[in-house]
Chains A and B, each alone.
Chain A
Amino acid sequence: MMTVRDLSVFVAGHELLAGLSFDILPGEFLGILGANGVGKTTLLRTLAGLRPIEHGNVRIDDRDARALSPAERSRAIALITGDELFADRLTVREVVSAGRYPHHHWWQWREERSDADAIAYALAAVDLEGFAEREFLTLSSGERQRVWLALALAQEAPLMLLDEPTSHLDLRAAHEILHLLRAQASGGKAVVCVMHDPNEAAAFSDRVILLGKGGILAAGPRETVLSPERLELAYGLPMESLRTESGAPRVFPRHPA
């Protein structure tokens, strides 16, 4: 679905990450972890085409990402970010309908049947059927995050990139979001998710990329990447691991006893 080869990521002319090579496959949940400031958000925006690819190659379904028009790109990739708010009083449906933009020609003003179907499907997929006419700004953080997810689903892109979708959410809301994403991956979408909690990554992702300063520290199946030793390297913090009742490994910072 997406192949990344020798990609570098820049911020203001400064190279944050270099030599990134990995594949993103349909039906997989790929977690991306790393310390603050390491370049996770910039990497996602570069993959989404919102920042120029200055060095390296990104191919989407075997086409050079740089050759795609903005609309073509957005039909292939949806970026979900939570950090920009807005002032207008928009309904949930108005927000979600923005996802239909790349499916319209510039002269197309009216909503088609396919738009209405995609929006209804997206709202149902995130359990927000009754929320279409609710004002977005009256929603809770967890509900808002589900609206952003619905916006991406309405976009009907097979690849979804998410930037910390569970930050600011309580345990239950975070759990629900991750379950929704897991379900999307099981349904055939490729889900790439920047995360902070290694245990959320351990519970929900298939593969994990652990970023360190300058590049990839480790990449592969979650069990091998999320070891205490590697996380110590990534976060500069002593770690220890425990096992759950079912035997799955979990890692925590080593606290003084």
Chain B
Amino acid sequence: MLTAALLLAAVGALFVGGTTIGPNAIFGALMHPHQGEIATIVWQLRLSRIAIGATVGAALAVAGALLQGLLRNPLADPYLTGVSAGAAVAIVLGFLAGIGIAAIPPLGFVAGLATTAIVATLARRGSGIDSTRLILGGVSLSALFAAIIALALTRAASAGAAQAIVGWLAGTLSGRGWNELALALPYVALGLALAFLSAPALNALRLGDVRAGSVGVDVARAQWTILAATSLLAASAVTLSGTIGFVGLIIPHAARRIVGSDARYALLASALLGATLVIVADAVARSAFAPAEIPLGVLLAFIGVPTFLYLYLHDRRATA
């Protein structure tokens, strides 16, 4: 059912855009990628954007599900470890230093991973990770980086540079293509592979570190693997789309509601739902006020916050 929803969203999103294209023309373009203007629009603009949306959505949702499981904290989101703040600060400083546009994604990716590595090192206890220290470190570094970004924005040389930075921070899929996706895809694939391999350990970790250790989980190794997967996925997503909030927080909750908390199914459902949500939200962001585009991150927050509050209040009523 979730796979069907994803396919439906992807096909539906093919029809959304500045040029109205009929079903036959889209089908024809899909079959013949190199013939004519419509094929270019479908392949280079729409399909690539859908693929990027799906990748970003799946990566963020799986990263969120992993981190919520690892920290046993339902409020964890993939940016908690400072990955987006680290990427953002590097990209903002990069913008201001005037580095080439091609260097921006790798710079953000590396900075995001480096930030997580710093936070993880601060959170080290014995051979494993202390979750409270991980959260504290991530939140502190994120606050510091947010301050640096604010400072950089007030000192930005031109209004154009400031606008480019704000646009990136708000999260968007516009202006990305197959090349950007191809660069990020290996890391997303590696992150997803590590995530799904960790599923049985994640299930045992639901019962606490001591019980997980007692049933044979190498707790420290599982923690580092899960954190590495989270960082790869979140850093790839940030590099592709800027800071898109709430997918990583809400989708894992929704997924667990549908399939239960067994990590094997919850991760899969998170990936499918996350991809679907970002494709749909991006289609709305492009078309609602066309030709103007609402930043995707902003739109998702508009959808995400009420949904989250609804889930939270609904849950309280259910347990009261």
By a beta-carbon cutoff of 8 Å, the part of chain A in contact with chain B is 45, 48-50, 70-71, 73-75, 77-81, 83-90, 94-95, 98-99, 101-102, 104, 106, 108-109, 151, 155
Instruction: Assess the B214–A79 pair: CB atoms within 8 A.
Output: yes
Q: Take A48-B214, A70-B216, A74-B215 as given contacts and tell me if A101 and B208 are in contact as well, using a CB distance cutoff of 8 Å.
A: no
Q: Take A71-B216, A101-B216 as given contacts and tell me if A109 and B207 are in contact as well, using a CB distance cutoff of 8 Å.
A: no
Taking CB atoms, residues of chain B closer than 8 Å to A73 are: 216
A-binding segment of B88-96, B130-138, B162-170, B197-205:
B197-205
C-alpha spacing A80/B201, complex, angstroms: 18
Taking CB atoms, residues of chain A closer than 8 Å to B206 are: 86, 88, 90, 98
For the complex of A and B, the 5 pairs showing the least CB-CB separation, nearest first, are A74-B216, A84-B208, A102-B216, A79-B214, A71-B216
Separation in Å of the A194 CB from the closest CB of chain B? 14
C-alpha spacing A254/B203, complex, angstroms: 48
Instruction: Assess the B211–A151 pair: CB atoms within 8 A.
Output: yes
Q: Does B140 contact A (CB under 8 A)?
A: no
C-alpha spacing A190/B284, complex, angstroms: 63
Instruction: Assess the B199–A109 pair: CB atoms within 8 A.
Output: yes
Instruction: Assess the A81–B217 pair: CB atoms within 8 A.
Output: no
Digitize B249-273: 1 where CB-to-A-CB distance is under 8 Å, 0 elsewhere: 0000000000001101000000000
Instruction: Assess the A87–B72 pair: CB atoms within 8 A.
Output: yes
Taking CB atoms, residues of chain A closer than 8 Å to B186 are: none
Interface size range of chain B in the complex: 20 to 34
Instruction: Assess the A109–B264 pair: CB atoms within 8 A.
Output: yes
Taking CB atoms, residues of chain A closer than 8 Å to B209 are: 84
C-alpha spacing A86/B204, complex, angstroms: 11
C-alpha spacing A70/B210, complex, angstroms: 13
Select B208's contact among A45, A74, A85, beta carbons within 8 Å: A85
By a beta-carbon cutoff of 8 Å, the part of chain B in contact with chain A is 72, 74, 197, 199-201, 203-204, 206-218, 261-262, 264
Instruction: Assess the B215–A102 pair: CB atoms within 8 A.
Output: yes
Select A95's contact among B199, B200, B207, B213, beta carbons within 8 Å: B207
Taking CB atoms, residues of chain A closer than 8 Å to B217 are: 70, 101
Taking CB atoms, residues of chain A closer than 8 Å to B213 are: 48-50, 70, 79
11 CB < 8 A contacts A-B: A70-B213, A79-B211, A79-B213, A81-B210, A94-B261, A98-B207, A99-B215, A101-B204, A104-B200, A106-B197, A109-B264
C-alpha spacing A77/B213, complex, angstroms: 11
Instruction: Assess the A84–B211 pair: CB atoms within 8 A.
Output: yes
Which residue of B is nearest A100, CB measured?
A: B215
Instruction: Assess the A50–B197 pair: CB atoms within 8 A.
Output: no
Instruction: Assess the B214–A84 pair: CB atoms within 8 A.
Output: no
Q: Take A50-B210, A95-B207, A104-B200 as given contacts and tell me if A86 and B72 are in contact as well, using a CB distance cutoff of 8 Å.
A: yes
Q: Take A88-B261, A94-B262 as given contacts and tell me if A45 and B218 are in contact as well, using a CB distance cutoff of 8 Å.
A: no
Which residue of B is nearest A74, CB measured?
A: B216
C-alpha spacing A151/B216, complex, angstroms: 13
Instruction: Assess the A86–B208 pair: CB atoms within 8 A.
Output: yes
Instruction: Assess the A155–B200 pair: CB atoms within 8 A.
Output: no
Separation in Å of the A67 CB from the closest CB of chain B? 15
Which residue of B is nearest A71, CB measured?
A: B216
Taking CB atoms, residues of chain A closer than 8 Å to B74 are: 87
Taking CB atoms, residues of chain B closer than 8 Å to A90 are: 206-207, 261
Which residue of B is nearest A97, CB measured?
A: B203
C-alpha spacing A74/B214, complex, angstroms: 6
